[in-house]
Amino acid sequence: DGGITQSPKYLFRKEGQNVTLSCEQNLNHDAMYWYRQDPGQGLRLIYYSQIVNDFQKGDIAEGYSVSREKKESFPLTVTSAQKNPTAFYLCASSPRQGYEQYFGPGTRLTVT
């Protein structure tokens, strides 16, 4: 089955801890994206990657980091520098940047 997986579905962390959210795709897509959703707001782009070993900041990259060591994987680390980390995080991929995006099921992160 081709698709995008994100794990875990729910994640709880204490304030001050870094946490890494997983995103894997087996669609052979070059581009991958991380979005954040907060109540009453549209999806906001955190980071994106057009190709392996390359990634770019999106609109709200502060307090986050990513890596793209493999084509199929694009993990997102929420660092302790992120002031409001509690949110719903969606990962997506597309054949190339700008093409139709395919989304994972999301991870809801709660930091207390």
Partner 1 sequence: ILNVEQSPQSLHVQEGDSTNFTCSFPSSNFYALHWYRWETAKSPEALFVMTLNGDEKKKGRISATLNTKEGYSYLYIKGSQPEDSATYLCASRTGANNLFFGTGTRLTVIP
Give the x/- contact pattern for partner 1 in 32-71, rule: CB under 8 A: ---x----xxxxxx--x---------xx------------
33, 51 in Cβ contact below 8 A?
Answer: no
Give the number of other Cβ atoms within 10 Å of residue 77's Cβ.
14
Backbone angles phi, psi at 58, to 5 degrees: -95, -150
For residue 71, give both structure tokens.
């084509």
Give the x/- contact pattern for partner 1 in 72-101, rule: CB under 8 A: ------------------x------xx-xx
Give the number of other Cβ atoms within 10 Å of residue 29's Cβ.
20
Closer to partner 1 by Cβ: residue 27 or 80: 27
Binding site for partner 1 (CB under 8 A): 4, 35, 40-45, 48, 58-59, 90, 97-98, 100-106
